[in-house]
Amino acid sequence: MSTSCRRSPCHRCLWEPLLIGGVEKPFAIVNATLAIALVGDLHFYGWLLVAALFHGVMRHLTASDPFLRQIYARYNWQADRYVPWPPVSGLRGRRPVGWGRGLAC
């Protein structure tokens, strides 16, 4: 019997976010939709410059950290959890339900 460890490949496409033109998919779709709507229907050609600048900024931010949107969304979701002052209720050390509450430490 062999004692070597089994190794499986982990492809980058499985754990990295989906990018369109170097920008995360939701931002690219919203940017393209606004550009098509404003330029095609309203003939607002100045939006092409704004859309190109927005795409460039988002591409730069995504290149520096591909998980920027997920990290920011997670931070916004958890921001209320960490209050800098003690609660008035007087209960000490109460964890929220599902965060280890009621378990023996």
Phi, psi values for residue 40, rounded to 5° = -70, -45
Mean pLDDT of the chain: 83
More confident residue, 40 or 94: 40
Band (pLDDT 50/70/90 cuts) for residue 4 is: confident
The closest alpha carbon to 33, from 19, 51, 20, 45, belongs to 51
Distance of CA 24 to the CA centre of its chain: 9
Least confident among 8-12, 38-42, 57-61, 84-88: 84-88
**The model's pTM:** 0.63
